[in-house]
């Protein structure tokens, strides 16, 4: 709510940036979801999650991101939903799923192991 309502008083520690992983340039498929997981990016504590094919990095830390690192795509001061695209190769959300499918593991078994 804080990130989408311009009239709300947003806590200083709350912000987010978003990536859209792509397997190829015109990729429109949604291939992964992930429950929130603690992480650290650019020196700040965050929660990393994925839904609808977008990776959200939610900052819940008073420390600011370094100027220029992601400042142009932070949601707090943006109009709309700014995001960058990135290749999926190397992202753990993609690599975990790829390993599972290469082993012919069933979807339910994969989801049971990876909340």
Domain ranges of the chain: 14-88
On whether the CB atoms of residues 34 and 97 are closer than 8 A, the answer is: no
What does the pLDDT average to over 85-93?
78
Q: How confident is the model at residue 99 (pLDDT cuts 50, 70, 90)?
A: low
Helix, coil or strand: residue 102? helix
Place 40 in a pLDDT band, splitting at 50, 70 and 90: very high
Percent of residues, the chain, with pLDDT higher than 90: 5
Give the mean pLDDT of 88-106. 66
**In the predicted model, what is the mean pLDDT of the chain?**
76
């Amino acid at each position: 709510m804080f990130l989408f309502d311009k009239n709300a008083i947003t806590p200083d520690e709350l912000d987010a940036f978003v990536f859209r992983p792509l397997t190829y340039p015109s990729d429109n498929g949604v291939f992964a979801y992930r429950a929130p997981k603690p992480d650290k990016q650019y020196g700040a504590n965050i929660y990393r999650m994925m839904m609808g094919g977008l990776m959200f990095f939610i900052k819940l830390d008073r420390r600011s991101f370094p100027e220029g690192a992601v400042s142009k795509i932070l949601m707090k001061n943006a109009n709309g939903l700014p995001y960058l695209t990135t290749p999926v190769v190397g992202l753990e959300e993609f690599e975990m799923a790829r390993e599972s499918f290469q082993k012919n593991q069933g979807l339910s078994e994969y989801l049971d192991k990876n909340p």
